[in-house]
Structure 1
């Protein structure tokens, strides 16, 4: 499942300044962790490296995602390997972010392993996470198979780093990405007629444009009986709307801040002035407004789940949505759905990346951190990612390059497939290319900025603001948010 981001950012009990300094102190001295009363990990010095913390129980807090569902359903291999038990708490992401913020602020160290969303957890609280390089470099601990270099580089940077320190704060764990999902059966049935009527081949390709997407959507509105509308969108006043709109913003050459690719990949505490007032941003908003005017009217009530359900119900012919819906699409409409990179705009194609990493709390004691490293190592290992991909209760997509070369995985890109998410693999790989990937700003104050964006875009779709006015209002609000600085 894609990440469920909150409408508003978490509100820590302490200021970020107090929280971060407290967390940093805990990591170096263990004082806050000692106050919490949680015992350190058990340690068996003469045991093999994987067994040295046998008898320990780790707490893992995660969003309710596909990889975590798969891991929770089959923790036995990890416990047999290490002697460590893992308790998993799954929450909607806004609740998770609040729990993690409170845990860091209090110094309790309740959670050893954290699902560290790059925007609402990692960026605001980066100093509260351990630098994973020291575990990988520790000869007494098992090292990552393939090292950090086996992770897809963009994923490691976007989901695992913050700033230019070189620290690795999280290991890439999931990677939902927005792609073009379409009724391949209907496109095949009506291809010749659409080509005659529209003057171009409608079949999705690298040359497809958003203007062509708009024309195809209009054609399906009245040209086919099997669906009610040509396109649908996740345009509810919600984080989903920001994600959907951003694809059009980027494709028209707009962005939220200057040097947006670097800010999205590595993060910053000072992004500068918002760029939503630019001609390119306004052009992207104007097209989005025009596209939504012909889309299924239900779009304005849907987040990604609502959109996915509408598509599976046969209500729409195509949509942009997270690639990991491929598994549920195949269950509902086996063999009828195709996947492609999102269309090009005047500047480029852009598909929103929504991946997250798992991290180790810097508030917990040193031995407990080392035990947590064993879990991170195992949970993101190629063998575990392969098992997750085939899991009947999970279905997460690999974040390691090596997994995509496994013969079983390569074969699963074609039907019949026992790993249905792999049917979208080529579209996703295209979307992950440097020139195509869409990365929202990784800044500590992103939660508030996100709210400003989807609030104003929603006003535009309701007819309460012009595209230009909506972009200016969002930019004004974002500039006020970022002007307050990193801490509050």
Structure 2
């Protein structure tokens, strides 16, 4: 890769995402007059955020919330791993230093539930003096509500930002081969192989091959076979015929149509390869799109399609990850903290998130607002992929405490498959290793 082109480290990606979308906000709405925004004037809130383009948007506009409510906000944004450690330690103590916490649903949901760390906010949502009438459960993508509610159906956080997995595809390479965007898994695999020409270093497909990072690719494919890694009974379904078929498809794509060395690829390496213009399809999160349309970083500006995940043999599903924001159970300022959470996921803040390319709101009304879409710096087909994915969204990782161990153990098996190992044997071995880990965590 030419040194003049972009090296997408996570830090540069985050900084670049935050800088995108300098266009002014279109589609602003006044704060609801029915809500008594000044009711907790004089209160001070401590807010614990994950450092990301999303928290940068929150911090950038904090003065607006303070002016609207008279509430002083002290917000701290720390890198993801540090934030997770800090929240676990403080919340476990029962005396956290913060009123509001930003959480990664696909990693922390079950841990937060088991600890009883978040306040029940379902009553607040139904209170017209506390909640804008436009904010209803029905406005959230289904996966967002699944994330935000506990097994008991109680709402303990507000869905903030979602990452749907889509297929980025190089329209120029497809046209050269006379191919159209695949509508099924079979078509996707066949197109990937047809686009591959190792002699010109052109490959039909790229995704994460690196152990741990690669697991969501497999589970995203598994959804198309009508299967999830964990059943409703809490038992692993990772040796089912469907799980094995999804792993075999992963193996096929990654051995017959992916670049050499893909077993060492995380999202950054996959993105870097796609930006060079020699990759037909890249499967990953919709939030990684902004650099694609930046001529300083990409050779494929204007040549990329943003596709909803093709249909599997049994279902069409967009693998879904996301984060939320909630009030700590220990907070002495729960209602004021809830007002802050509500502001974070408000129409205007969601519009800013989307227009900056910094994230995708879980609220469908924001995504479907024509005025908001006018201000989006990404192509309209990107927004179409977001909206379409929201309608078929499904959680792609099991909601368990040891999700990192799940990814570590199965990730090794998937990397072995890229090296030629048998999918059924690898999944059987990984499941035998992981079962006792899961049993201990739930005990």
TM-score bracket, shorter-length normalisation: 0.7 to 0.9
Give the C-alpha shift of residue 99 in structure 1. 1.2
User: Equivalent residue for 2:377?
Assistant: 419
User: Equivalent residue for 1:147?
Assistant: 135
User: Equivalent residue for 1:109?
Assistant: 96
Provide the C-alpha distance between the structure 1 equivalents of 2:368 and 2:253, rounded to a whole number of angstroms.
38
**Contact 1:160/1:171, CA 8 A, preserved across alignment:** yes
Where in structure 2 are the equivalents of 1:225-264 lying within 5 Å? 228-238=202-212, 240-259=213-232
1:213 aligns with 2:188: yes
Residue from 387, 408, 423 that aligns with 2:371: 408
Provide the C-alpha distance between the structure 2 equivalents of 1:299 and 1:86, rounded to a whole number of angstroms.
45
Secondary structure in structure 2 of the residue aligned to 1:297: coil
Query: Runs of 5+ in structure 2 lacking a partner?
Result: 1-9, 11-34
User: Equivalent residue for 1:272?
Assistant: 234
User: Equivalent residue for 2:16?
Assistant: none
Greater than 6 Å deviation, 4+ residue runs: none
Deviates more, 1:466-475 or 1:93-102: 93-102
User: Equivalent residue for 2:125?
Assistant: 136
Where in structure 2 are the equivalents of 1:384-403 lying within 5 Å? 384-391=349-356, 395-403=358-366
Residue from 163, 168, 179 that aligns with 1:176: 163
User: Equivalent residue for 2:310?
Assistant: 343
Provide the C-alpha distance between the structure 1 equivalents of 2:108 and 2:253, rounded to a whole number of angstroms.
33
TM-score (norm 1): 0.76
User: Equivalent residue for 2:181?
Assistant: 204
Provide the C-alpha distance between the structure 1 equivalents of 2:395 and 2:118, rounded to a whole number of angstroms.
25
Query: How many residue pairs end up in the alignment?
Result: 403
CA-to-partner distance for each residue in 1:196-235, whole Å, 9 max, x for gaps? xxxxxx2115xx222322232223322995x632211112
Quick one: structure 1 residues 430 and 136, their matched pair in 2 at CA, closer, same or farther if it must change by over 3 Å?
closer
1:371 aligns with 2:359: no
Provide the C-alpha distance between the structure 1 equivalents of 2:419 and 2:43, rounded to a whole number of angstroms.
54
Provide the C-alpha distance between the structure 1 equivalents of 2:75 and 2:270, rounded to a whole number of angstroms.
29
Quick one: structure 1 residues 422 and 301, their matched pair in 2 at CA, closer, same or farther if it must change by over 3 Å?
farther
Provide the C-alpha distance between the structure 2 equivalents of 1:87 and 1:310, rounded to a whole number of angstroms.
40
Query: Runs of 5+ in structure 1 lacking a partner?
Result: 5-47, 196-201, 260-270
**Contact 1:234/1:300, CA 8 A, preserved across alignment:** yes
Quick one: structure 1 residues 273 and 323, their matched pair in 2 at CA, closer, same or farther if it must change by over 3 Å?
same
User: Equivalent residue for 1:473?
Assistant: 429
CA-to-partner distance for each residue in 1:70-108, whole Å, 9 max, x for gaps? 222222211211223333333443332221110112233
Provide the C-alpha distance between the structure 2 equivalents of 1:314 and 1:86, rounded to a whole number of angstroms.
45
**Contact 1:282/1:468, CA 8 A, preserved across alignment:** yes
Where in structure 2 are the equivalents of 1:71-82 lying within 5 Å? 71-82=58-69
Give the C-alpha shift of residue 125 in structure 1. 1.8
Quick one: structure 1 residues 179 and 275, their matched pair in 2 at CA, closer, same or farther if it must change by over 3 Å?
same
**Contact 2:141/2:391, CA 8 A, preserved across alignment:** no
User: Equivalent residue for 1:17?
Assistant: none
Give the C-alpha shift of residue 293 in structure 1. 0.6
Quick one: structure 1 residues 471 and 371, their matched pair in 2 at CA, closer, same or farther if it must change by over 3 Å?
same
**Contact 2:40/2:336, CA 8 A, preserved across alignment:** yes
Give the C-alpha shift of residue 338 in structure 1. 0.6
Provide the C-alpha distance between the structure 1 equivalents of 2:76 and 2:259, rounded to a whole number of angstroms.
36
Deviates more, 1:84-93 or 1:339-348: 84-93
User: Equivalent residue for 1:355?
Assistant: 322
Provide the C-alpha distance between the structure 2 equivalents of 1:111 and 1:421, rounded to a whole number of angstroms.
38
Provide the C-alpha distance between the structure 2 equivalents of 1:110 and 1:421, rounded to a whole number of angstroms.
42
Provide the C-alpha distance between the structure 2 equivalents of 1:296 and 1:88, rounded to a whole number of angstroms.
43
TM-score (norm 2): 0.83
Provide the C-alpha distance between the structure 2 equivalents of 1:478 and 1:146, rounded to a whole number of angstroms.
43
Secondary structure in structure 2 of the residue aligned to 1:354: strand
Give the C-alpha shift of residue 255 in structure 1. 2.8
**Contact 1:274/1:479, CA 8 A, preserved across alignment:** yes
Give the C-alpha shift of residue 485 in structure 1. 4.9
Give the C-alpha shift of residue 63 in structure 1. 2.6
Provide the C-alpha distance between the structure 2 equivalents of 1:390 and 1:250, rounded to a whole number of angstroms.
30
Give the C-alpha shift of residue 409 in structure 1. 3.3
User: Equivalent residue for 1:36?
Assistant: none
Quick one: structure 1 residues 390 and 169, their matched pair in 2 at CA, closer, same or farther if it must change by over 3 Å?
same
Give the C-alpha shift of residue 150 in structure 1. 4.6
CA-to-partner distance for each residue in 1:146-166, whole Å, 9 max, x for gaps? 233353241332221120x22
Quick one: structure 1 residues 149 and 97, their matched pair in 2 at CA, closer, same or farther if it must change by over 3 Å?
same
**Contact 1:160/1:357, CA 8 A, preserved across alignment:** yes
**Contact 2:99/2:334, CA 8 A, preserved across alignment:** yes
